[in-house]
Amino acid sequence: MTSVSGIMPTGRLTLGNHLGALRRFTDPNGFYFVANLHAMTMRHVPRRLAELTRETATLMLAAGSPEGTVFVQSEVPAHVQLGYLLECTSYVGELSRMIQYKEKGRDKPMTRVSLFTYPCLMAADILLYGTDRVPVGDDQDQHVELARDVAIRFNREYGETFVVPELAKAAFATRIKDLQTPTAKMSKSDVDDAIGTIRLLDPPDVIRRQVMKAKTDSENVVRYDPSGKPGVTNLLEILAACTDGDPEELAKGYQGYGDLKTDVADAVLSVIEPLQRRYAVLASDPATVDAMLIAGRDRAIEASAPLLLSASTAMGLGTGR
């Protein structure tokens, strides 16, 4: 069994990225990559992209299993190569329905072409490693669905080539919300100093203050109620995710918001501080990080070669030599 997952270097990673993705990058046979090619579908600053790629890769190494493969997407050309083949099997109609394109690019002449085609690259990311499960937060459903559709269609038209993957979801906290706007997802591309966004590498006292300032409501009753009490519910979901608990059960143990916030801050830091310590050790040793990323790149190149070759041959590429 192989799992594969990527994180775009579009901002400094958040608690949402950790609870929804990073902390599940533990499969020793897994392939985990910094999706830097996907970070270029909107206007970007090259220097910041490079810095965030390094930071994200180091965090992935700090969070994951020592045997897992961590690499940078652009260093494994098979992703782009298979992405193109899959563009040749996908339809404008299905790509036009993708949410990102509809929300950020449709009907705008200056939209980058890659914002339209990136779901094919993402399908390639998933399919290249013969993975049977994709561990992601629930906002990625549509992408995994497309990868499944593309794989099924390819297998039907060109012969059995790809494993059709399943979506692997956590029971809780698959969508951590912003602490100040608890109806919106916490996102790494939010402005850097947004106080509702917990960054994994921020100092612990800053993170604690952010939790203590989290928006709730004036009722002071702790109840799990996603539509009626989004702020309190988000705090309960964060607590549940950090302690492996059940948010509805946890709600019963609190009389007011102060105690809840203190426990959430403690729980968040108990998850983040060990990660920060491992990150600090790696970040102070760039040669080791380089060596791990080169090893990861080489393993990914080797592992992806057979499927790329099968797909190319099945589609009629090559000269018959």
Write the CB contacts of 313 (distance below 8 Å, at least 6 apart in sequence).
none
Least CB distance from residue 65 to ligand AQP, whole Å? 17
Write the CB contacts of 141 (distance below 8 Å, at least 6 apart in sequence).
167
Least CB distance from residue 14 to ligand AQP, whole Å? 6
Q: What share of the chain is helix, strand, coil (3-state, %, to 5)?
A: 55, 5, 40
Least CB distance from residue 275 to ligand AQP, whole Å? 15
| 165 is an interface residue for ligand AQP by CB under 6 A | no
Bridge partner list, 280 = none
Q: Which 13-72 residues touch ligand AQP, going by CB under 6 A?
A: 14, 16-17, 19-21, 35
The span from the CA of 243 to the CA of 247, in Å, is 10
Residue choice 140, 197, 233, 276 for contact with ligand AQP (CB under 6 A): 140
199 vs 229, beta carbon nearer ligand AQP: 199
275 vs 311, beta carbon nearer ligand AQP: 275
Q: Which 179-218 residues touch ligand AQP, going by CB under 6 A?
A: 185-189
Which of 185, 213, 229, 261 is catalytic? The answer is 185
Least CB distance from residue 75 to ligand AQP, whole Å? 17
Residue choice 36, 174, 197, 304 for contact with ligand AQP (CB under 6 A): 174
In angstroms, what CA-CA distances link 75 with 78, 299, 301?
A: 9, 11, 9
Bridge partner list, 33 = 6, 71
Q: How many CB atoms lie within 10 A of CB 259?
A: 12
Strands 166-168 and 133-135, bridge-based pairing: parallel
Return the closest-CA partner of residue 129 out of 310, 309, 293, 305: 305
242 vs 311, beta carbon nearer ligand AQP: 242
The span from the CA of 23 to the CA of 20, in Å, is 7
Least CB distance from residue 158 to ligand AQP, whole Å? 28
Looking at 8-16, 77-85, 90-98, 192-200, which segment touches ligand AQP (CB under 6 A)? Answer: 8-16
With CB under 6 A as the rule, give the number of residues binding ligand AQP. 23
The answer to whether 104 touches 115, Cβ cutoff 8 Å, is: yes
Least CB distance from residue 200 to ligand AQP, whole Å? 11
The answer to whether 14 touches 198, Cβ cutoff 8 Å, is: yes
188 carries an active-site annotation: yes
The span from the CA of 301 to the CA of 59, in Å, is 22
* H/E element, 212: helix 204-212
| 231 is an interface residue for ligand AQP by CB under 6 A | no
102 carries an active-site annotation: no
229 carries an active-site annotation: no
Which of 177, 188, 229, 261 is catalytic? The answer is 188
| 175 is an interface residue for ligand AQP by CB under 6 A | yes
Residues with a known catalytic role: 104, 185, 188
Interface residues with ligand AQP (CB under 6 A) are: 7-8, 10-11, 14, 16-17, 19-21, 35, 136-137, 139-140, 174-176, 185-189
